[in-house]
Structure 1
Amino acid sequence: MRVNQRRRGLESGHLFCFGLGFSALHLADRLLSLGWRVSGTCRTAEKAAALRARGIDAYPFDRDRPMADLAGRLADVTDLLGSVPPDAAGDPAIDRHGAEIAAAAHRLSWIGYLSTTGVYGDRGGGWVDETSPLRPSGERGRRRLLAEQAWQALPQPAHLFRLAGIYGPGSSALDTVREGRARRVVKAGQVFSRIHVSDIASVLVASMARPNPGAAYNVCDDDPAPPAEVVTYACELLGVVPPPMVPYEEADLSPMARSFYDDNKRVRNDRIKQELSVSLAFPNYRPGLKSLFDAGL
């Protein structure tokens, strides 16, 4: 089966996205501004109506509510993005609509899947790149690895984007500080990699212009940093006293929050720069948070 691997600029196209969440919507807005058509799925009819008001053809979808006539909706789609988190049963988009996606794959210019750096597991603070073994340490990471494999098993394998901790407008350390939810939890040697949502959109657009089916990309900034350091800087910007330092062993964290501290690694991003010629707008959290602060976000 022939796979379309053409190189191209940003001429008009049609993106369909399974899961119009935070990252996917930033990509959608970028493409809409370039004259693209965007369609896709969301969880509720209310959100679908709100997205249609923004110019996005949106349809409710979840594992228990598959889409009607997806094959028809994909007829003129040029690019497809998977952004629905896997559940205990697998990837809902592949499980419910894998046949339709596979049937369309040969004529699509690009297929992408948003994964996570959690597929690398814990490295004790060491570095990983896209060639590192995949050995997730938690259930969420294991689910992501299985979802990656499902998307890469399509007739045209998906591009994989392993996202670090995402922040951006309405979702950053500035918001947790303003809302009184910020904590400075300290675990010796612990660092996290991060990425501004605008830079995620830039990486995806660059990949769409240079398709390389099956390629995996780490999407993160240049500066893995301790979480308490990021909260401290957010407090400096807002002119408030930082919350007290709390040792990890004494922190009252939810199981979900505690699971983030199970993995400790530094993630390399050389491939997005060398293969996709991406220049990050926010190479570390400081200009990223400062830009949000200056914009009142």
Structure 2
Amino acid sequence: MTNRYFIFGAGYSGRAFGRLAAGEAQIDGTSRSEDKFDRLLKAGIEPYAFDGKTVADAVRLALTMTTHLVISAAPTEAGDPVLAVAREALLAETPRLRWVGYLSTVGVYGDHGGAWVDETSECRPVSRRSTLRVAAERDWIGFGHERGVPLAVLRLSGIYGPGRNAFVNLEKGTARRLVKPGQVFNRIHVADIAGALKHLSRSATGGIFNITDDEPAPPQDVIAYAAKRMGIEPPPEIPFETAQISPMARSFYGENKRVSNLAVKAAGYRFAFPNYHAALDAMWAADDWRGEGEADAASPMSA
């Protein structure tokens, strides 16, 4: 049987997966705006409209042929937008479905004071958006049990890659070296999100997996390293306490943890970019760091 993927919310990560897997499988994906259909087509993804309110007949037809389902849509106060309107269709009209992947966030762990966390660690989310993620994870795990297919929850760290990285921020003049003593973050290159999705889906592996790099590091160090690669002076360090930043960015700094990726490695995945040094070096050498309109809405932690 030919694999056919359907991605609800084919944004930055979804398009990376499309480019990786399009030669081996049919990839369908949704966008809220038809203005973005061309971007999906360029990534090897057949575009469909999904507004979170109704399931179009074209989407229903594609789902009847779907073997692998990927969810990359943020939950709202009303719950998961896909389950809210498509749950019955996904339960009753997906005869070929063999695997589901839900893209979540390591934000579900909340603050652990800089300690290491893994998939068995307590989820104690700080922000409202992460609280909603915990609920959405639970709902999707329940769906997997009800549907009788393996379901993998992929908890992602701060996403970066072409078009979304410290080089871009330095070139734009928006990079800042905020310093909060003891603060570290994990990151994940978008290519490794795509690679982990491909690996887990091909083996129909279910469970919870942290998709994150090997090297939690202070964010100011990433900016300094990128500036060194560019041959420019890094921006000055700014104490976090006096920094003028958005409430969302400030909330990220309220969570401090080191995230382990041993579970996905035990499942057989090997990271293309195990740390930010390797990723920035590769993007600089390939001169692809600017990307091609790939940035979408970047996380404050995408540096």
Question: Scaled by the length of structure 1, what TM-score is found?
Answer: 0.91
| 1:236-255 pair list within 5 angstroms | 236-255=228-247
| CA displacement at 1:107 relative to structure 2 | 3.6
Do the aligned partners of residues 65 and 244 (structure 1) sit closer, same or farther apart at CA in structure 2, a change above 3 Å counting?
farther
Give the alignment partner of residue 285 of structure 2, picking from 281, 288, 294.
Answer: 294
2: CA distance between counterparts of 1:249 and 1:144? 28
Instruction: Give me the whole-angstrom Cα distance separating, in 1, the residues matched to 2:153 and 2:90.
Output: 16
Q: Distance in 2 between matches of 1:157 and 1:67?
A: 26
Aligned mate of 2:157, from 160, 164, 175: 164
Cα offset, 1:105, TM superposition: 5.6
Partner of 1:13: 3
Match for residue 19 of structure 2 among 26, 29, 35: 29
Unaligned runs of 5+ in 2: 290-303
Return the letter of the residue paired with 1:251.
A
- Mapped to 2, the partners of 1:205 and 1:193 lie a distance apart of 21
CA distance in 2, matches of 1:116, 1:169: 20
* Aligned mates of 1:132, 1:104 — CA distance in 2: 35
Deviation, structure 1 residue 106: 6.2
Call closer, same or farther: CA 1:208–1:243 in 2, change over 3 Å: same
How many residues of Structure 1 are paired with residues of Structure 2 in the alignment?
Answer: 284
Per-residue deviation, 1:67: 2.7
C-alpha separation between the residues in 2 aligned to 1:50 and 1:27? 13
The reply to whether residue 92 of structure 1 matches residue 91 of structure 2 is no
Residues 206-252 of structure 1 show CA distances to partners (whole Å, capped at 9, x for unaligned) of 10122233x00000010000000000001001111111111110000
Instruction: Find the aligned partners of 1:169 and 1:161 in 2 and give their Cα distance.
Output: 21
Q: What amino acid is aligned across from residue 17 of structure 2 in structure 1? A: L
CA separation of 1:55 and 1:280: change in aligned 2, threshold 3 A: closer
Q: Once the 2 structures are TM-superposed, how far is the Cα of residue 49 of structure 1 from its aligned partner?
A: 4.1
Residue correspondence of structure 1 range 197-276 to structure 2 within 5 A: 197-213=190-206, 215-275=207-267
User: In 2 relative to 1, CA 227–55 (structure 1 residues): closer, same or farther, beyond 3 Å?
Assistant: closer
CA contact (8 A) 2:185 2:256 kept: yes
SS in structure 1 at match of 2:83: helix
Pair 1:96–1:74, CA change in 2 (3 A): same
Alignment-mate amino acid for residue 22 of structure 1: Y
CA distance in 1, matches of 2:14, 2:97: 18
Match of 1:123 among 101, 112, 121: 112
Please report how far the alpha carbon of residue 53 of structure 1 lies from its aligned counterpart in structure 2 after TM superposition: 5.4
Q: Is the 8 A contact 1:74 1:104 kept in 2?
A: yes
- 1:46-84 superposed Cα distances (whole Å, 9 cap, x missing partner): 112442355422112122454335332211111000001
C-alpha contact (below 8 Å) 1:70/1:100 kept by paired residues? no
4+ residue runs over 6 A deviation: none
CA distance in 2, matches of 1:105, 1:164: 30
Any idea what the Cα deviations from partners look like across 1:96-133, whole Å, max 9, x if unmatched?
A: 11111122466412100000000000000001000111
Alignment CA distance shift 1:75-1:64 (3 Å): closer
Provide closer, same or farther for how the CA distance between residues 106 and 130 of structure 1 changes in structure 2, counting only shifts above 3 A: farther
User: Structure 1, unaligned stretches of length 5 or more?
Assistant: 1-10
**Contact 2:63–2:94 under 8 Å retained in 1:** no
Q: Deviations over 1:13-49 (max 9, x none)?
A: 1100000011111111111122x11112012011124
Cα distance, 1:55–1:233 mapped onto 2, change above 3 Å = closer
Aligned to 2:183: 190
- Distance in 2 separating the partners of 1:259 and 1:88: 18
